[in-house]
């Protein structure tokens, strides 16, 4: 059963139960009040008869005659019955010998027999009124009874009033209620149908959106503007979808990077191996010629050295990921001075000038790793520069951070390659990189070293205008972690 159907069904059940119970309680309470009022009126009328009789008792004592008493009581009863002729009342007066003094039973107004079981007369005392409701045939009567003493004789007054109209009125109310109940339920069912469908409409939207996301459309979002609980749920659902989409994109990016790494690694490994195997086989099957033999050995040697360099750099990358290094406070300027001669020697092959403008800048670092980082940055700058150009190495403080900067005036990096240059084996200019015995691992190693030192690398490059790579050592974050 769908959720809107549950809301629809249970709300109708609740309405029927509550509406019917409330209506029945109202009808019964109204009937009870009217019946009680009728009982009070009847008792009051009975007392009125009793008061009339009590008023003439002194006169009856004077005459002390049974016939006179019977005549007086009959006159009082007739007068009362005539006065209330519009009501269905029955009055009976009997003496203590059960002889009937007065009765209008035969007047035709109440053509019913008196019941044999008169519980209201049991233990009835003088100046006391008892009443009882009694069903006779299909009619209901209210019996009231009291005893009056006259000249040492007890006269029982029974005053009866028919209350059948009250019960008929209650039945009419129930009939009317059934009609109202049916109409109200039909209207309520129609209204609740649209309400339940409207209330669950946002949930249907969320279900459709969840299906779209499950089918791979991770950019899909729930479009709801309500601020109720469902609106909050939709907002949280969208927030969750954003996180899932980001994670999926991240996984796809990682998978793509891994696939590129495997492709590039396979290619970089296959190329020298193919050359080595090819030249070795060529030398094996070819008649000995010293010149060809030397050239072949040279190719085999250079390709083997290239494999060696590749394996060393891969080992560096693997070791850097272990992240177990002893950090000590060093001055970055002193480190560059220490490397300056070897860097100049490396640049001398292309007559490139190394310029250092370094401020005092101390930070916690692993000395050998930072040397590797600086050497790779300068080596890349040398490879990107033409002869007789210059490379500038700077260190300075900026916003409390220590900054290392290596800038060249070389060929630059295309803007669409900048975000990929730190991937292993990625080469913006493959031909030039391979000619320089590069494998596209230098900047990957630099990024790993920077990560170990909680540093970020910024790249500013322009085609044929040069490249500036800036390593920002975030002293504050690093110091906070050391303190913790």
**Cut 0.75: pTM above it:** no
Residue 398, pLDDT score:
86
Quick: pLDDT tens for 337-396: 888 888 888 888 888 999 998 888 888 888 888 888 898 899 889 988 888 899 999 999
pLDDT beyond 80 at 325: no
**What CATH class does 218-322 carry?**
mainly alpha
Q: What three-state secondary structure class fits 361? A: coil
Residue (of 406, 385, 380) closest to 472 by Cα position: 406
Measured at the CA of 99, the angle between CA 97 and CA 102, to 5 degrees, comes to: 140
Residue 484, pLDDT score:
47
Quick: pLDDT tens for 182-202: 999 999 999 999 999 888 888
Residue (of 444, 450, 433) closest to 317 by Cα position: 444
B/e letters for 184-207, b = 16+ CB within 10 Å, e = fewer, are: eeeebeeebeeebeebbebbeebe
Torsion angle in degrees (nearest 10) through CA of 430, 435, 436, 439: 40
Torsion angle in degrees (nearest 10) through CA of 470, 476, 482, 484: -140
| CA pair distance 322, 163, nearest whole angstrom | 101
Residue 255 and residue 237 in contact, taking contact as beta carbons nearer than 8 Å = no
Quick: pLDDT tens for 386-443: 888 999 999 998 888 899 999 999 888 888 888 878 877 766 665 555 555 556 777 8
What does DSSP assign to residue 106?
Answer: G
**What CATH class does 324-474 carry?**
alpha beta
Region 276-305: mean pLDDT is 85
**What CATH class does 3-106+115-170 carry?**
alpha beta
Domain ranges of the chain: 3-106+115-170, 218-322, 324-474
Question: Per mean pLDDT, which of 2-16, 77-91, 136-150 is the most reliable?
Answer: 2-16
Instruction: Give one DSSP letter per residue of 48-81, joined into a string.
Output: HHHHHHHHHHHHHHHH--HHHHHHHHHHHHHHHH
Range with lowest mean pLDDT among 161-165, 206-210, 269-273: 269-273
Residue 375 and residue 389 in contact, taking contact as beta carbons nearer than 8 Å = no
Give the number of other Cβ atoms within 10 Å of residue 446's Cβ: 25
């Amino acid at each position: 059963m769908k959720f809107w159907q549950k809301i629809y069904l249970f709300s109708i059940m609740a309405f029927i139960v509550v509406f019917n119970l409330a209506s029945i309680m109202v009808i019964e309470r109204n009937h009870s009040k009217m019946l009680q009022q009728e009982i009070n009126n009847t008792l009051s009328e009975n007392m009125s008869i009793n008061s009339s009789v009590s008023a003439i008792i002194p006169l009856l004592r004077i005459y002390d005659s049974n016939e006179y008493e019977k005549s007086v009581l009959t006159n009082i009863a007739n007068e009362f019955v005539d006065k209330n002729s519009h009501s269905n009342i029955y009055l009976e007066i009997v003496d203590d010998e059960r002889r009937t003094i007065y009765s209008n039973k035969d007047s035709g107004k109440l053509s019913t027999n008196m019941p044999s079981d008169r519980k209201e007369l049991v233990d009835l005392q003088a100046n006391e009124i008892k009443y009882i409701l009694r069903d006779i045939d299909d009619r209901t009567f209210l019996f009231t009874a009291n005893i009056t003493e006259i000249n040492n004789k007890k006269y029982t007054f029974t005053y009866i009033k028919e209350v059948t109209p009250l019960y008929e009125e209650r039945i009419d109310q129930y009939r009317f209620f059934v009609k109202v109940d049916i109409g109200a339920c039909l209207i309520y069912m129609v209204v609740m149908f649209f309400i339940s469908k409207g209330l669950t409409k946002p949930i249907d939207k969320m279900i459709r959106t969840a299906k779209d996301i499950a089918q791979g459309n991770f950019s899909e979002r729930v479009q709801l503007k309500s601020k109720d609980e469902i609106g909050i749920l939709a907002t949280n659902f969208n927030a969750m979808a954003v996180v899932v989409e980001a994670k999926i994109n991240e996984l796809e990016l990682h998978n793509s990077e891994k696939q590129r790494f495997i492709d590039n690694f396979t290619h970089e490994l296959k190329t020298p191996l193919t050359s080595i195997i090819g030249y070795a086989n060529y030398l094996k099957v070819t008649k000995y010629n010293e010149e060809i033999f030397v050239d072949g050995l040279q190719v085999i040697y250079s390709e083997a050295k290239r494999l060696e360099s590749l394996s060393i750099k891969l080992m560096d990358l693997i070791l850097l990921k272990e992240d177990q290094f002893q950090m000590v406070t060093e001055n970055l300027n002193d480190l560059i001075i220490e490397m300056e001669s070897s860097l100049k020697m490396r640049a001398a092959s292309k007559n490139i000038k190394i310029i250092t403008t370094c401020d005092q800048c101390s930070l916690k670092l692993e000395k050998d790793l930072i040397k590797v980082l600086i050497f790779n940055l300068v080596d890349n700058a040398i490879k990107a520069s033409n002869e007789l150009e210059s490379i500038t190495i700077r260190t300075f403080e900026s916003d409390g951070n220590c900054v290392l900067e290596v800038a060249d005036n070389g060929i630059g990096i295309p803007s669409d390659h900048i975000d990929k240059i730190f991937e292993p084996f990625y080469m913006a200019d493959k031909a030039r990189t391979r000619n320089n015995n590069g494998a596209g691992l230098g900047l990957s190693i630099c990024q790993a070293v920077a990560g170990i030192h909680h540093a970020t690398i910024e790249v500013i490059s322009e085609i044929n205008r040069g490249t500036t790579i800036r390593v920002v050592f975030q002293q504050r974050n690093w110091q906070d972690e050391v303190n913790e």
